[in-house]
Amino acid sequence: MKALDKMDNLDKAGLLCKLFPAELENLQNAIKTQCDYFLQNETAFREGWYQKGFFTAEFWYRLVQNAQKGTAQNEPLWKRPNWFTDHFFDGHNSIFAIHCLIEYTEDAQCDPQLKQAIHLLFGSDKFLQITLNDK
């Protein structure tokens, strides 16, 4: 096994899957929940998007759509850990997947050990500061 500082996101996700195989369905559901949230509020997010970093609303929504494709498959990806990691954690797709994991750690249903592992592997800093304005 590689040292933690030598692991890329695929390696880290693979390790998380091996350590917590019983949690993969919950993780995929957390990703689906975030996809649904962003798609339901897409207009508001796009209108209020403040680009402070390197990605735009368009880029973010491509990541959301790619993740949604993985959650909508006939055979759930969580049943095949390698497919799960390849789909959600390869390349730029990992940005949204990591966002979803970090958000999931705040859910009361998140196993405390899983929460610690996510924070160890991926950190606890959020990629987005989300505030919806009521108009």
For residue 9, pLDDT over 60 is answered with yes
Percent of the chain with pLDDT over 70: 87
pLDDT in tens, 13-70: 999 999 999 999 999 999 999 999 999 999 988 887 776 667 888 999 999 999 998 8
Domain boundaries, the chain: 13-122
The DSSP output letter for 54 is S
Which pTM was predicted? 0.87
The DSSP output letter for 131 is -
Residues 105 and 119 sit within 8 Å (Cβ to Cβ): yes
